[in-house]
Structure 1
Amino acid sequence: MSKKVSRRQFLTYTLGGTAGFLASGMLFPMVRFAIDPILRKGEKGNFHDVNLKESEVTDIPKQVKFTEHRKDGWYNPPKGETLTAWVVRVKGEIIALSPICKHLGCTVNWNSNPMYKNEFFCPCHFGRYYKDGTNVPGTPPPKPLDRYEVKVENGRVLIGPLQKT
């Protein structure tokens, strides 16, 4: 006794199989995108010599530049990406602050507005930060500036990975 497949069942199986194949083709990239960070091995942060001696760090922020090699999607500049940090000594501790404002991502500068002396100032929307990177209450930035890891080796200041706040 043979069981025959009707025309309707054949079309249902064919369309169901095709729909399943197309759906898996669309879902696979989304699933891969979601789990890729879990599968990727973390990179250990490198420390960069910023050509600054420990004795040169004072309570007045000093801007330093350094180059970091990192791949960001398809963007991978061969000479690396030039980054900037503000290095200052606060209560005896050397800290390195990111110059990126936490309000809209503009660049902050030290002592650049005569109305706000001894503060980091963001010209985009008048964001202000104290010397230690904390935001001035009542100004647009919702959070303090991000800090870089800092260590001193052989009397030289080294800047490491960015620590998001």
Structure 2
Amino acid sequence: MNDHTNHDSQHHGEKPVKRREMSRRQFLSYTLGGAGAFMGAGMLVPMVRFAVDPVLQPKKKADWVKVVEESKITNEPKSFKFAVHQVDGWFESDPELEAWISKGKDGKVFALNPTCKHLGCTVNWNANPEYKDQYYCPCHGAHYTPDGKQLAVASAPLDEYEVKVEQGFVYLGQLGPNKRV
């Protein structure tokens, strides 16, 4: 065998290397696609931030709201309505809330939220003759002590407002878990 046939047998299974070059059409396609994606992202980022930003803001504590004169508070719970200013994202409103305010055995003023912890109905004081001197929920029969401790049906005590008394008036603040029971 000669040198020529030996050389052919070595490269017989290999294909010659072919360089691929980018055509003008491919270059323009990639460039325009990349520029379009960049501009689209530039428009999308402010929209996403506009939608998500209020969720990321830290929740501020509730402002103190003047509700009633301290002289009107007794050991018997009474219902008082009050308005609060709230901002929910971009929506501002002044909903009317309710609190059952009374003095405890220790003489301190406290306020309970009337929302039943079972399914969210509104409880009332002495609303059922079977449960004298208790908060009673008419929806499912849950009832609570004067301090808001659950006795039946509900799984948790009534929530309690922060209370402060200044210059003869009762102010309510942040709503939170009941600390009396």
When the two structures are superposed, what TM-score results if normalisation uses the length of structure 1?
0.73
Q: 1:39 to 1:131 in 2, by over 3 A?
A: same
Unaligned runs of 5+ in 2: 1-18
SS of the aligned residue for 2:86 comes to coil
- Runs (4+) off by over 3 Å: 25-40
Q: How many residues align?
A: 159
Question: Which residue of the partner structure matches residue 161 of structure 1?
Answer: 174
Matches within 5 A, 1:145-160: 145-160=158-173
Between the aligned partners of 2:63 and 2:54, the Cα distance in structure 1 is: 23
Letter in 2 for 1:47: W
SS of the aligned residue for 2:81 comes to strand
- CA offset at residue 28 of structure 1? 9.4
Instruction: Report which of the two structures shows the higher radius of gyration computed on alpha carbons.
Output: 2
2:17 equivalent to 1:3: no
Question: Which residue of the partner structure matches residue 88 of structure 1?
Answer: 102
Q: CA RMSD in A?
A: 3.5
Question: Which residue of the partner structure matches residue 125 of structure 2?
Answer: 110
Between the aligned partners of 1:103 and 1:113, the Cα distance in structure 2 is: 17
Unaligned runs of 5+ in 1: none
Q: 1:71 to 1:116 in 2, by over 3 A?
A: same
When the two structures are superposed, what TM-score results if normalisation uses the length of structure 2?
0.68
Which fold has the larger relative contact order, with Cα–Cα distance below 8 Å and residues 6 or more apart in sequence?
Answer: 1
Between the aligned partners of 1:123 and 1:29, the Cα distance in structure 2 is: 46
Between the aligned partners of 1:145 and 1:121, the Cα distance in structure 2 is: 11
